Structure formats: structure tokens, C-alpha cells
Structure 1
Amino acid sequence: MPNPKIFDLTPPDLSDYIAYPILIVSHDAGGASVLAAWVERHLDVGQCDFLLEGPALRYFSGLKIEDSQRHSRTSLVPSEVSRFACVITSTSGEDVSLEREYIQQCRLLAVKVLSMLDHWVNYVPRFCIDGRLCWPDLLMVNDVYAQQLLVAIPGAPPSLLFDNYYLQQQVAQVLQYRKSSALESTQILSRRILYVSEPSTDSRYNEFELLERFLNSIFNYDYFNTQQLQVRVRLHPREKLGKYDELMFHTFSEYSINYCKNELYHSLAWSNTVVGAQTTPMVIALYAGIEVYSCLPEVVEKMTLPFDKIRRIY
């Protein structure tokens, strides 16, 4: 558990950083989902402009954003951030530079910049550009585990703790949908497994190996000790439909395996077991009272998800 003593310092005041007009910059799904929910709760959307790409477009679609508030990298280049009093970003993987480019320009032009962290891993690479580390002025986090990790990083900026409104919304939707669709009464009849996939950036394993080994464990070695198995594979927003066709419909063609294409809360409500490597839907499932397992290989000694109730299969 985190040590509360390391948080005895007076936390920063958000009002020292936030001022309108504000530019919101976001790309990857994980960060966009958390940031969009936070923006809806804390900001006047009408006084914000938005530079959204990739999966972020979907997660911000619920906000009332006028066309005049939308920008692209060509209509608003990083050097023009001085038009705003404040810039707020999510963070993305190492293969997406959008947020990092605008953070860098904010620091060069003395524009206040804040970033929302949505995970517990790879903090430093999220802020590296051209081999140089460029932190925002303030980091926004969703739990004390993230704060503890930041305290251990030399030179990391101050952080503020906020509720994870996206997590709360998803858990509430899972429970409501399960109750309204009478899924509760059928949960014990079979093992309904939702496998949540995610592209691997870890050199020690790849996502194809993880899924193949897991399917082999449950179908050929009866890991769950039951013949009543249904498996649905939910792809990460960055993965294309059909990615695992060879595994699902050829190698394991005799078993009940299908892709899951509906909303995340629908998928979780259907399941009574969630399996993945170490991705955010596993955390949502845990808070919704669903059994959660990690299929990380033995070579990965410690998960980045800081939750003891997530069981290791291997």
C-alpha cells in the first residue's frame, strides 16, 4: 500500500494553473477517456478549444463542441499555443507524439500546461521528445498509487489527485446493464470469459503469444476446470478487426470464441471473468466485482496494475 506520509506536502492549487481560454490536446484511448470525463466535470467546454486525433475523437464526442472550437495540427501548429492561457493534455504511447509536441512548445513559450495520467507505467517515455525529457507544469492523477510512482521519479513535477470519473461511469453502466438485461441470474451457468487485448510494447512477449497460450490453457489444460466455456475477444482501439482470425477460427476453431464489438460496459456486463495482460478494462472489471486474471508470462515478475485482487494465471 502507498505510504501516506510522502503526501504530507501541501498539494498545488489548481487555480494557479487553470485559466481560460484553454486548449485540450488528446490522442490515445486510455488518456482520452479519462480526460474527457474530467473536462466535462471541471471545465466550461464553451471556453475551450480542442485538438483531438485518433481514438480521442470518439471519447470526446459526448461533449458539445462546436466546429469553431476544433483544430488540427495543420490549423493550429504547436508554435501557436501562445493564443491560450492554458493547455491540458492526456498522454499517449511512444509511437504518438501529439501531446509531447504541444507540451514542449508550452514550456518554450511559458504557457501553463497540465497533463492527465491514466495508467501506472512508462511515465518518463510519455514525456520524452527527441531524446529529451519535457515535463508539463502539473500532472493530474487518479489514485495514490500513481502519485507514489511520481514521487520516486527525480525531477517529476507536482501532481494533483482527482476522481477517475470515467472509471466510475463505466462501473455504474456495467452494473446497471447487467441488472436491466437479467444477466445476473445467468452468471453462474457458465464461465463467460472476456479477453481484453492490447498491443504489446514489451520485448519479453507479444500479444499473439499471450492469447494463444491462454486459449491453450483453458481448452487443452482445463485451467478453469469446466467444460462450459464461452470466450469473447475484445480488441484495443488501436487493433484492427480480424487481427486474431488465425488463432480464433483455425487453431482453436472447434471452440466457442468470437470477437466482441459492442460497448465496453456491455462486454463486461456479459462476462463473469476478465482476462488480459495489464490493461485498463481489467481495472474497471475489478471495481465492477468481476473476477480478473492476468495472463502475463512468468518472465514478467510484477504487474504494473497495482491491485492484489488481479490473479496471475502463470
Structure 2
Amino acid sequence: MIIGNKKRTVITVCHDAGGAEIISAYVKANNSKAKFVCLALGPARKIFLRKKLGDLLISKKFDAEIIFKKFLPDFLLTGTSWASGIEFKYVKQAKKLGVKTAVYLDHWTNYRERFGYPRLGWENNLPEEIWVGDKYALELAKRKFIGKIKLRLVENLYFKEVKKQYRNLTLKKY
């Protein structure tokens, strides 16, 4: 994520826990490769703090336009939420400014519904790319988003964190 000598600036936006777990794991693993600015609201905030990523957090909820002007991002990575439409606002602003966008889907259900389907114009909520964490999710996404969007298989680093924690707990027992 380095362009020439400059680190790319990546804004992440999360509200719900599922997306926050995956995106915070991604941030933690790639923190040396990019400058991350993280907006974590609701349950997501506690997750970023638990993972000691508090220094990357924006302290308040700001309007997307203000955040983009202040940090001039090269890339936007978000989760999806049922309880909040904050991710849609940021995707729309990024697209308006020509900033590359990706949404990481954290589950295997309701793929189109996460973007507002079946409401008219739901496609406007789609990013440039959808990231999924396994081959099953990728196959499902291919069926749901036929020709609409670029799909990318990106390792789910949260699963990797959980496996490591389990191994450490198991080793401590013996």
C-alpha cells in the first residue's frame, strides 16, 4: 500500500461488530504499510480499542465530506451494518471524489440486502469492490452480484487472530 515513497491513506468505517472484527484485524496486520484513519462507531469502537488501535481512531462522528477533506484518502474500506447507514454515506462521498472503495462482507447471508436491495437505486450503495474471506463467500457473491462489481477474495485476518488465540490457550493448558 505504498505509492512511490508515500504511504497510502486508508479510511476505514465500521459500526457493527462483525465488520469491525475483520477490518480491525486487517488494519492491525497492515498498519506499517498504510496510514489508517479509522471511524468506528457503536459496537465497533470497543473492538478497535480492545485491539489497541485507539490511536488510529477519529474521536468523534464527523461528516464524510469533512473527513475526506481533512485526510485526503486514497482508499476507503468499510463493513456493512444493519443498525447504521454510515458506511453508505462514506462510500457515496468516496465515489463522488474518485476515491477507490471496498466493502468487506463479514457473513454469508443477505449480500444484496446489505446494500439496500430491493429498494430502488440500491446499486448506488455498492462500492467498486466487494471483499469476502473464503471461497464459499466468493461463489455466493458471484451469484448475487453477476457482472455488477469486482469481487476479491481477501484473507479473513480475524479468523487468523482467533486461531492464534486458541492455539495460545491450548498451549497454556499443557
Pairwise mapping of residues 145-294 of structure 1 onto structure 2 (< 5 A)?
145-152=136-143, 153-181=145-173
Q: CA deviation at 1:52?
A: 0.7
Q: Could you tell me whether the CA contact under 8 Å between 1:34 and 1:164 is conserved in 2?
A: yes
Classify 1:166/1:55 alpha carbon distance in 2 versus 1 (closer, same or farther; 3 Å).
same
Q: What are the equivalent positions in structure 2 for 1:42-53 lying under 5 Å apart?
A: 42-44=30-32, 47-53=35-41
In the alignment, the residues of structure 2 paired with residue 107 and residue 78 of structure 1 have an alpha-carbon distance, to the nearest angstrom, of: 12
CA contact (8 A) 1:106 1:112 kept: yes
**What is aligned with 1:227?**
none
Q: 2:91 aligns with which of 103, 110, 114?
A: 103
Q: Bigger relative contact order, structure 1 or 2, given CA contacts below 8 A and separation 6+? A: 2
Q: 1:154 to 1:84 in 2, by over 3 A?
A: same
Residue type of the partner of 2:73?
F
Structure with larger Rg:
1
The corresponding residue for 2:63 is 77
What are structure 2's unaligned runs of at least 5 residues?
Answer: none
Q: Could you say which residue in structure 2 is the equivalent of 1:114?
A: 102
Residue of structure 2 equivalent to 1:66? 55
SS of equivalent residue, structure 1 residue 66: helix
The answer on 1:132 being equivalent to 2:121 is yes
Shift of 1:161: 1.5
Cα deviation digits, residues 256-288 of structure 1 (max 9, x gap):
xxxxxxxxxxxxxxxxxxxxxxxxxxxxxxxxx
Give deviations 1:95-140, integer Å, cap 9, x for gaps.
3211122112222232211111111111112122875322111122
Deviation for aligned residue 1:181: 3.6
The letter for the 1-side match of 2:154 is: F
Q: Distance in 1 between matches of 2:111 and 2:31?
A: 25
Aligned pairs (5 A) from 1:17-56? 20-44=8-32, 47-56=35-44
Paired residues, number:
163
Give how far 1:150 is off.
1.4
Indicate how the Cα distance of structure 1 residues 57 and 161 shifts in structure 2: closer, same or farther if over 3 A, else same.
same
Q: What code does the residue aligned with 1:85 have?
A: D
Q: Show structure 1 runs of 5+ residues with no match.
A: 1-13, 183-314
Report the TM-score when normalising by structure 1: 0.46
Deviation, 1:155, is: 4.3
Partner Cα distance (1:89, 1:175) in 2? 29
Matches of 1:65 and 1:45, distance apart in 2: 18
CA contact (8 A) 1:100 1:126 kept: no
Secondary structure at the aligned position of 2:37 is classed as strand
Paired with 2:101 and 2:59, the residues of 1 have a C-alpha distance of 18
Matched letter for residue 121 of structure 2: R
Over 3 Å counting, the alpha-carbon distance change for 1:135 and 1:143 in structure 2 is same
